[in-house]
Amino acid sequence: MTTQELVAQIHKKKSFLCIGLDVDLNKIPKHILEKEDPIFEFNKAIIDATHHLAVAYKPNIAFYEAYGIKGWKSLEKTITYLNENYPEVFTIADAKRGDIGNTSTMYAKAFFEDLEFDSITIAPYMGKDSVEPFLAFENKHTILLALTSNQGAFDFQTKDVEGKELYKQVLEVSKSYENSENLMYVVGATKAEYLSDIRKIIPESFLLVPGVGAQGGNLQEVCRHGLNNQVGLLVNSSRGIIYASDGMDYDKAAANKASELQKQMQEILNTTK
């Protein structure tokens, strides 16, 4: 998917909502556990109930790998279902990969060619040659971890290195990578006050912003500091939507929570025209 196609969907749906599909069998409704593939059945119902409200879905790969080959098959069925039934939706493999060049190439092939995700999250710690293999794929996006929403982000990401915070150096250096126009960045919603400085470095890039909802991020603050002239945000909510109910109405409850966020987004978009 091209950036232009993503922007078109945002304006069509009046939404920049990304829904995280972080499926934990201990949290999904008990009646689904009787199904042959409860993870896929849960995802399918959530997607069918919310696809008109969201422009992106983000399976966290760890939640599938934890269940071995069965979990991987559930992931494969989920991304195939999205691509076949809702091809306009932007898909994110939240895999946080990043390794030396030939290994990164294999990771990229796995998620971009085999599973056909539109994008993948990448850890930048190993530098240029661990990121550029992902950037080499046409119309695929590499989402670099820049400033994350967890408390441990302060261990390294905000440390002063030669007069500049490390996350800012990551942003600036990444702009020199080959095919850097395919880069997006992760910036946690709980770090909204940093977004103004981030936009000075990467004014045109899309930001994936997790942490709205269960983690306490504020949508209005994120938008106040992070919106750009093509919206430039994908705001993710996972637990707050998919686990809105553990009863038979879980899909309807998820749709209601997604609708609440979409309406807030629509209002923000209307006021920033």
List active site positions. 96
Report CA 11 to chain centroid distance, whole Å. 18
| 150 close to 138: Cβ distance less than 8 angstroms | no
Which residue is listed with tokens 């910036």?
187
What is the number of other CB atoms lying within 10 angstroms of the CB of residue 63?
A: 20
Which residue is listed with tokens 């196609």?
5
Cβ contacts of 89 within 8 Å, gap of 6 or more: 9, 51, 54, 55, 56, 57, 82
Which residue, 269, 184, 189, is CA-closest to 236? 189
